[in-house]
Structure formats: structure tokens, C-alpha cells
Structure 1
Amino acid sequence: MTWQPHITVATVVEDQGRFLLVEEEAGGRAVLNQPAGHLEANETLLQAALRETLEETGWEVELTAVTGLYLYTAPSNGVTYQRVCFAARPVRHHVERPLDDGIIGPRWLTRDELLAEKDRWRSHLVLRCIDDYLTGERFPLSLIRPA
């Protein structure tokens, strides 16, 4: 079998010191993560980030920057993920929109509230992405270039 990383996107959406997170089922338990998911065929990384955020939270967002690129190998299954994390601002909440299967719902938490839930993080990247955002890591969206 050929080793192949999985390309994923995530968004750090901040509003007045609170961050939009997703409570979801993973491995038989409820965990917290950024709105995140896999890049699908024939879409750009930016389109994937907008789609995943809407599908998992019901929130339309505006992407404002790239906050980082992360390589993570999940200890649970040995799969390696390449995560492209974006900063975004909330635009509109579609309250009636059904969310993806396995999603419990969106949660707005401060960094301290998230820190108190460390045992529920999907991975250490949840806090790492927020901390990179808070330290001012911002790269222009033009960093992501079409082929």
C-alpha cells in the first residue's frame, strides 16, 4: 500500500474572544474541533474551508487569512493529515440548516473554556491553531494558488 497524506482544511472563526468550534462524535465519544474536513474532488482549499464550516456549524464565514499548515499523524489510526488552517470571520448563521452526520452542534468557546476541556479535543491541533491565530500568524489568502 502506498503512503498518502489526507488533505484537510480547518477554520478558526473568532467573534469577540470566542471561537467557533464543532462538537462531534468521533471514536464513540463527543469531541471538540475546529470546523474541519477533507478536500473533495474538483474544489479549491478555500471552497473546502467554506463548505466544511457551513456543513458542520450552519455558519457562513468570510475567509481572511491562512494561519498555518500542519502535518499530523493520528495515533488512533496512523493516518497522516495535512491541515490547511484559515482564519475567518462569521457572516451569517443559518439556524435551520441541517448539519453533517456525526455533528452534535456548534459551540462558541473562549480559549480558557477550551483549555478546560483538553480531554475532549479531537487533537492537539485544536488549541495549536487558535494559539497561532492569537499570536498573529496571518498569511494572505493568495498564498493558496490555483494550479
Structure 2
Amino acid sequence: MAERWKPNVTVAAVIEQDGRFLLVEEHTSDGLMLNSPAGHLDPGETPAEGCARETLEETAHHFTPTALIGVYLARSPRKTHGENVTYLRFAFAGMLGAFEPDRELDEGIVRTVWMTVDEVRGSVARHRSPLLLECIEDYLAGQRYPLDLIHTDSSVATLQQR
């Protein structure tokens, strides 16, 4: 029997203030890249909870998701490993909260940067995910869905207890 295909589930925050978007610059196997605050969904958490956690870990800012921008599926070739990885991304808009200046950022994160949409558009070659710009463009187009569009069964919470 063939191995079952399973995309990597990720969550991402699209955060805009004063016409600029909060991104992270991070070391990857493909070099120094830009991305939205994003990461893998952990066992036992909802996509919105995962997005809030990843944003805090990567930017030292609290984040409260208020709307789903979209659900995206993309394959991303890895230059150094010669393999393709498929990602299923849940992108959220929301409110940026308190900043923890003494908080250490996730391993690999060099810094946070605020960029205009034109700067993001001009830096496509440095995007870690092919979905970075697409999520921002959908956000700018006003695409928003209620958070309750994503249903998380109570059985998911039991994963945290294991």
C-alpha cells in the first residue's frame, strides 16, 4: 500500500498597521528569507490558537485573530533537499497586542520588519512561502471570513493531555 499523503498544516498572521505589514526575516535552508509570522499547528490547539502562539514566538507581539482570510494549499520545492513539501495554510487577520521586548524570538528568526505592500511585492525572490504575497493581496481585497467557519471538535483538546 502506498504511503498516505499528508500536507503540513500551517497558520499565518497577516498584520497591517499604518499601511505596513509585519513580517519576519529568518534563516532557512534556502538562506535568509521573509515570511508572515507563521508556523506549524501544534497538537491540541485550534488554528486560531496556533496562529496567536506562532505570532508571539516569532515577533514577541501578542496577536488576537479576528477573521480568517483564507485557506491555501501550495507545494514548495526545497532547493537543498530536492523534495517538494505541500502546505495547507490558514491565514488570519487580527489585532496586534502587547509587545514583550525581553522575549527571545524563535530559533532562526533574525528580526521583525515592517514593509509596505510594494516592498513585499518587490521582494518575492526572498519569500519563504509562495503564499506570503497571496495572503496579503487577499487581505487588501477585503477577504474576511468569520472564525467560526473553522470548527474544532472537542476531541482535539485531549491531544494536549497526552
Q: How would you bin the TM-score normalised by the shorter chain?
A: over 0.9
Shift of 1:107: 0.8
SS at match of 2:53: helix
Contact 1:8 1:38 (C-alpha < 8 Å) held by counterparts: yes
Q: TM (normalized to structure 2)?
A: 0.87
Rounded to whole Å, the distance in 2 between the matches of 1:86 and 1:34 is 10
Q: What per-residue deviation string (whole Å, max 9, x for no partner) do you get for residues 51-87 of structure 1?
A: 0000001111121100000001112231111000000
Q: TM (normalized to structure 1)?
A: 0.96
User: Which runs of structure 2 are paired with 1:1-147 in the superposition (5 Å)?
Assistant: 1-76=3-78, 77-147=83-153
Rounded to whole Å, the distance in 2 between the matches of 1:62 and 1:123 is 22
Deviates more, 1:68-77 or 1:133-142: 68-77
Contact 1:15 1:89 (C-alpha < 8 Å) held by counterparts: no
Q: How large is the Cα RMSD of the aligned pairs?
A: 1.0
- Runs (4+) of structure 1 exceeding 4 A deviation are none
Q: What per-residue deviation string (whole Å, max 9, x for no partner) do you get for residues 82-140 of structure 1?
A: 00000022111111100110000111111011122221111221110000000000001
Q: Which sections of structure 2, spanning at least 5 residues, go unmatched?
A: 154-162
User: How many pairs were matched up?
Assistant: 147
Rounded to whole Å, the distance in 2 between the matches of 1:79 and 1:115 is 23
Q: Which sections of structure 1, spanning at least 5 residues, go unmatched?
A: none
Rounded to whole Å, the distance in 1 between the matches of 2:127 and 2:37 is 13
Question: Whose radius of gyration is greater, 1 or 2?
Answer: 2
Shift of 1:28: 4.4
Rounded to whole Å, the distance in 2 between the matches of 1:120 and 1:112 is 14
